[in-house]
Amino acid sequence: MPDTLSKHVPSYKQYLITFYNTTHTMETYNHAKKHLPVAIMPVPRVISKSCGLAIEYQGENPSVFQAYFDTLTIPSRLFFIETPVAGERCATLLAEHTL
């Protein structure tokens, strides 16, 4: 009998925007929530060991969130995080706006 479990491991996927200060996070969140399904959450430890807040995209089409990120003019970073059910989180930096 084939081992189908090893071929497809379910995972939880997140798209997040992080910022360098809480003011930018809250200002962007207040704007984004008018247009996108988003939530505020603590920055996951896989991204940063320090305190902070991130904006999590909760929609079905991540390209919409990427397009929103592309319009930002403040320092920020866009991450993709995947958490396998039986594994460790893995974060990938997708894009970054610097000063």
- The answer to whether 11 and 83 are in contact (CB under 8 A) is yes
Q: Tokens in use for 76?
A: 């920020």
Task: Give the neighbor-by-neighbor strand order of the sheet with 11-19.
Answer: 38-42, 53-57, 11-19, 76-84, 90-97
Q: What is the pTM of this model?
A: 0.84
16-69 pLDDT, tens per residue? 999 999 999 999 999 999 999 999 999 998 898 777 999 999 999 999 999 999
Return the pLDDT at 85. 74
The residue with greater pLDDT, 7 or 61, is 61
Closest by CA to 68, choosing from 23, 13, 17, 14, is: 17
Residue of 89 and 53 predicted with greater confidence: 53
Instruction: Determine contact, residues 18/43, Cβ cutoff 8 Å.
Output: yes
Q: Taking 80 as the threshold, does the pLDDT of residue 4 lie above it?
A: no
The CATH label, of 1.10.10, 1.10.3470, 2.40.10, 3.30.70, for the domain at 10-97 is: 3.30.70
Return all residues near 4 (Cβ < 8 A) that are at least 6 apart. Answer: none
